[in-house]
Every structure is written in structure tokens, then in C-alpha cells.
Copies of this chain bind each other. A is one copy, B any other.
């Protein structure tokens, strides 16, 4: 798990698995996707799946993490810039991700997926906050990351509740000043 990322075989296989999962997510609901489906689509052995991922939720985690990082502007992320573009990118990524998962009405799975999304959001926000303010109280940064992850996830729930009448970008942009510049001003 340490230097394993450099072995081309590992990179290839993980990409095959992740891409197959994303592909299948567009075709059927999450609850109907089996490990066998994924490995068949990826043309790899089922045992190989378990070499890389604990289970399908572990895969979901890592796919989400990938999706979030890929959609983020590399520069902004490296610098920990929590600006408008960053929030828009992250919000778009999670709404797209949820839409492609097409998990509409399955409570049991939705809870797990929601938790995974919040966890990954929290990880990213914490890393970026840490880069932005390395000397700050870590406990405070962690709590801030937790609140951001719950808040942004909640916004995505609200966006879906509104039947996707406007784009994710339009939906999230107006509120970003409140996040970046505080509730008192709500202005950049």
C-alpha cells in the first residue's frame, strides 16, 4: 500500500475497476451492481478486486475521492484556496456523482453513500484548511471541515429535492459568499 501506486499493473487494474464501476453506475442503480458485474466489465478476476478493495463501499470511497480530486483545479487545491471555484467544482462533482449513481429511493444504501460522501468531503476540506492555515488549532479546523462537509452535502440534498430545476452551479453560487466571508456580511 506504500509504494504500490507506482507499479503500472496496480495503476492499470485500479483504473479498469473504477472506470467499470462508473460505467455501470450510469446504467443501473447502485444496489443492483455486484462485484461480479464490475469485474466482468473490467475483464479482471473477481479475486483481484479484493486485492485492491475491501468491498464495494471501499471502491465507492476511492472512486468518489478520485472524482473530487480530478474535478478540482490542481493549483487551487495545492494552495488550499477555498475560493468560489473550489466550492463550485466540489458541489458539481458530488451532484454529478449522485446523479450517476441513480440512487433515488433506497434508504439503506443512501445512508451509507451519504456517509461516504461526507467523509470524503471532510478529508478534502481538512487538507485544504490545513494548507491555508497551518498554525491554526487543529481541532477547530477539523470541526470546520466536518461542518463544511455536512453543509455541502445538505445543499446537495436540497438541490435534489428541488427536482434539479436549476444547475448545481447556479444553485450553489449565491451562497458561497456566506461560506467564504461569513454569515454576518454575506459579501465578498
Contacts and interface: CB of A to CB of B under 8 A. Distances in A.
Interface in A27-75: 43-45
Contacts of A11: 43
A12 B43 CA distance: 9
Interface residues of A, number: 6
A70 B130 CA distance: 54
A108 interface: no
6 contacts: A8-B43, A8-B44, A8-B45, A11-B43, A12-B12, A12-B43
Contacts of A8: 43-45
Contacts of A44: 8
Nearest to A8: B43
Interface in A1-29: 8, 11-12
Nearest to A11: B43
A8 B47 CA distance: 14
A44 B43 CA distance: 18
A54 to B, nearest CB: 23
Contacts of A12: 12, 43
A141 B148 CA distance: 76
- Interface pairs A-B: 6 shortest CB-CB: A8-B43, A8-B44, A12-B43, A8-B45, A11-B43, A12-B12
Contacts of A45: 8
A10 to B, nearest CB: 12
Interface string A86-128: 0000000000000000000000000000000000000000000
A45 B44 CA distance: 20
Nearest to A42: B8
A43 B8 CA distance: 7
Contacts of A43: 8, 11-12
A65 to B, nearest CB: 22
